[in-house]
Amino acid sequence: MPATENRSSIARTFWTNAIFAPRTSLGFLHADLLFGTVFIIPFTQMLFFAFVATLAGNPGVTVQFVVIGNAVATVTYSSIFSVCQTTDSEKNNGTIEHLLVSPTNRFALYLGRGVVPILISLATASMGIVYAVLIFGVPFAASALVPVAVSVVLAAVSLVGFGLLLGGVALYLRTSIILGNIFLFIGLLLSGVNFPLSQLPPALQVVGDGLPLTWAVAAVRSSLAGAPLATVELQWAYLAITGIVSFALSMVLWGVFERRALATGAIVRF
């Protein structure tokens, strides 16, 4: 196949999945779901944990600390939970067999499926930050606009990569719903969303450092607080690394699944 034709095929695979996956396996194009994900979930989650922080009375955990963490954490609904469920959709709709025998480029196929979740994650995190500033009084200096924007973009991309990783794990399970729910709450617990990561036992801190959400929350907090650019850049680097590693591992899991399925001629036992 000529190089230009090969590039065209890869680009076509990427954009086809970017356009049609939300209508099939992701289910993002329902107006009520989209509205709730972007506008309702961030506000209700931030409000709930703001009340919890107020009642707890911990001087080290302010309302502003909590609402910033949850403004970022709300992207997990679109970037992790929904993306992870694509595996179930493929199995239930009977389309996963077609993917296994398709000659399309796997990297373009899986990356294309993350386009719409990334865009929705950007909208969700941005809306959460707007709520944090306008409703909960989080200071927002003009100089923080670019660092916050970069942090949100990297957070959306990296967390979708982590969602694809969970989707790869879910290939070997009967359902991904439990897996997605587990990591929704693990993120709240181990990523410094509602309390500093330093308050966790050392072993759990290590686990938290391996999660993209941890560095996404840290980068947004540092950006809003006007931290030195070198500090924020280091957090961006960790955030990007966790996202890249997550996506790479997801490709490995999908590759192993495909080889085993093609060798056995069935996916029933997965």
In angstroms, rounded to a whole number, what is the distance separating the alpha carbons of residues 235 and 218?
7
**CB 73, CB 43: distance < 8 Å:** no
Summarised one tens digit per residue, pLDDT across range 78-106 is 888 878 877 777 777 777 888 788 888 88
Q: What is the mean pLDDT of residues 30-58?
A: 90
Query: What dihedral do alpha carbons 103, 254, 29, 180 form, nearest 10°?
Result: 170
Lowest mean pLDDT among 44-53, 113-122, 133-142, 149-158: 113-122
Per-residue model confidence as pLDDT tens digits over 173-201: 877 888 888 888 899 999 999 999 999 99
Q: 218: which residues sit within 8 A by CB, 6+ positions away?
A: 192, 235
Does the pLDDT of residue 270 top 70, yes or no?
no
pLDDT, tens digit (0-9, with 9 covering 90-100), for 133-158: 999 999 999 999 999 999 999 999 99
Beta-carbon contacts of residue 140 (< 8 Å; ≥ 6 apart) = 129, 133, 148, 224
CA distance 230 to 208: 22
**Cβ-based neighbour number of residue 146 at 10 Å:** 11
Contacts of 178 (CB under 8 A, 6+ apart): none
- State the number of CA atoms in the 13 A half-sphere of 3 facing the CB: 0
Question: Quick check: 34 and 102 in contact, CB under 8 A?
Answer: no
**Dist. CA 188–CA 45, nearest whole Å:** 11
